[in-house]
Amino acid sequence: MKSIYNHITLTGLIGLLSINVVLAQNEAPVQTQRSANAKITNLAPTPPMGWNSWNTFQTRIDEKLLRDMVDTYVSSGMRDAGYKYFTLDDGWMSMDRDQNGQLVADPKKFPSGMKAFADYVHSKGLKFGIYNCAGDKTCAGYPGTRGHEYEDARLYASWGVDLLKYDWCNTDSLNAREAYITMARALQATGRPILFSLCEWGNHQPWLWANGVGEIYRATGDITANFDKDKHMGTWTALSVLTIVDKQPAIRQYNGPNHWNDPDMLEVGNGMSFAEDKAHFTMWCMLSAPLVAGNDLRKMSAPTQSILTNKDVIAINQDALGIAAYRNSSENGLETWVKPLSNGSWAVCFLNRSDNAQNVAYNWAKNPLNDSFFKRTADFNAEVYRLRDVWGKTGAGTTKSVFTTAIPAHDVVLLLLKRR
């Protein structure tokens, strides 16, 4: 197939800092450098993990609430499980910029100021994330960054921001790729490593151009805490877990270290059943998705905590290869998803989408694994693998025998396959 390459080199204010973006149309983008500045490369070799205020609190955030959340982030074991970023979403600003055009943290919500809050987050060994938007206003109507990219980036750097989530509301006819590249340049010009999280909902196929611009890019619209039913919100539709899952196979080939497809933040602990939360979390891990919790950590139940902090499941998400799972089979609502892992290991997830329990009888000898895009195979007639039931925390035999189990509705069984 003929491919057209557009090679764009944008040089920032400082000579050292540049972004080289190689755009490939009709095929997977080439891995590109985030920056010539060594400090600002490799910010997300594995999918970033964190917490974000939006899914539970929307704009109802303030310093007191968030300090409590930071404390619970640590005491609940989230930090020790690998979550690192603490991100304020929309709603942290005053409605207007100050007389110098500078953004202001809402003094009622943040009486100590944003620098002090960022210091508090850092004092707990966490990284601090913040939100704004490429348009004139954010989605909730606060001042957007359009036309203020460099001054906003400098302000964030002065506060010690480590991540910027950059949304796409009120952008009129802005060109998405150019708008995100402009902000990436502004962030890099600060000299501070700031992970760049693009949030244009997949409208302009960021998987084709965001590699080298930012580390993660939303590939779909907003999630809602429902396993299989979308929620109509008037002018837009919030997507169920399964709707989002179904959009992933088509873009899995673009996923990889420092350029992660983002299927949106987690809704674990926000109202679905335990099985559904477990299935949702497992699929995000299988897809090598960023793991951004969005629940009220202060009220986290023990079952929710057991999902979000399961180190063996997280290890599958954080596997260094960074290859997203492919859908291997689908029959009557029962699917198998397969993720190649480092050292020749594999994760295999049986996902029961249906409303009834389903029996699995999986004959490994008749089902070799073959990731044709990433060129990895496992032939169980040639090699035997040990099976581990990851959620069950037990051995599950080897690939010499047929694997049998029953899976409740809306649940998963997750196996780790290791060579004997």
Among this protein's residues, is 222 annotated catalytic? yes
Choosing from 29, 32, 54, 121, the residue that interacts with ligand GLA (CB under 6 A) is: 54
The one-character DSSP state at 185 is H
Q: Decide whether 292 or 313 has the Cβ nearer to ligand GLA.
A: 292
Interacting span for ligand GLA (CB under 6 A) from 27-35, 137-145, 314-322, 402-410: 137-145
Q: Decide whether 167 or 319 has the Cβ nearer to ligand GLA.
A: 167
Question: Active-site residue among 89, 222, 277, 411?
Answer: 222
Q: CA 306, 309, 310, 314: dihedral to nearest 10 degrees? A: 150
The beta strands (E) that lie in 75-184 are given as 85-87, 127-133, 163-167
* 306-324 exposure pattern, b = at least 16 Cβ within 10 A, e = fewer: ebbbbeebbebbbbebbbb
Taking the complex as a whole, how short is the minimal distance between the CB of residue 132 and ligand GLA, in angstroms?
A: 10
Q: Decide whether 201 or 346 has the Cβ nearer to ligand GLA.
A: 201
Backbone angles phi, psi at 382, to 5 degrees: -90, -30
Helix H or strand E segment including 281? helix 274-286
Helix 149-159 to helix 114-123 angle (10° resolution) is 50
Q: Decide whether 90 or 149 has the Cβ nearer to ligand GLA.
A: 90
Enumerate residues 85-114 that contact ligand GLA by CB under 6 A: 89-90
Q: Decide whether 239 or 347 has the Cβ nearer to ligand GLA.
A: 239
Choosing from 10, 16, 81, 140, the residue that interacts with ligand GLA (CB under 6 A) is: 140
CB contact at 8 A, 365 and 378:
no
Q: Does 139 bind ligand GLA (CB under 6 A)?
A: yes
- Residues pairing with 394 in the sheet: 389
Number of residues that bind ligand GLA (CB under 6 A): 10
Interacting span for ligand GLA (CB under 6 A) from 7-15, 138-146, 187-195, 272-280: 138-146
Taking the complex as a whole, how short is the minimal distance between the CB of residue 260 and ligand GLA, in angstroms?
A: 16
Q: Decide whether 149 or 262 has the Cβ nearer to ligand GLA.
A: 262
**Dist CA 118 CA 87 (whole Å):** 10
Taking the complex as a whole, how short is the minimal distance between the CB of residue 269 and ligand GLA, in angstroms?
A: 17
Q: Which residue is at the shortest CB distance from ligand GLA?
A: 139
Number of Cβ within 10 Å of residue 226's Cβ equals 19
- Residues pairing with 415 in the sheet: 348, 389
Helix ranges, 113-266 (H): 114-123, 149-159, 176-189, 241-246
Among this protein's residues, is 246 annotated catalytic? no
Q: Catalytic positions, please?
A: 167, 222
Binding site for ligand GLA (CB under 6 A): 54, 89-90, 131, 138-140, 167, 199, 222
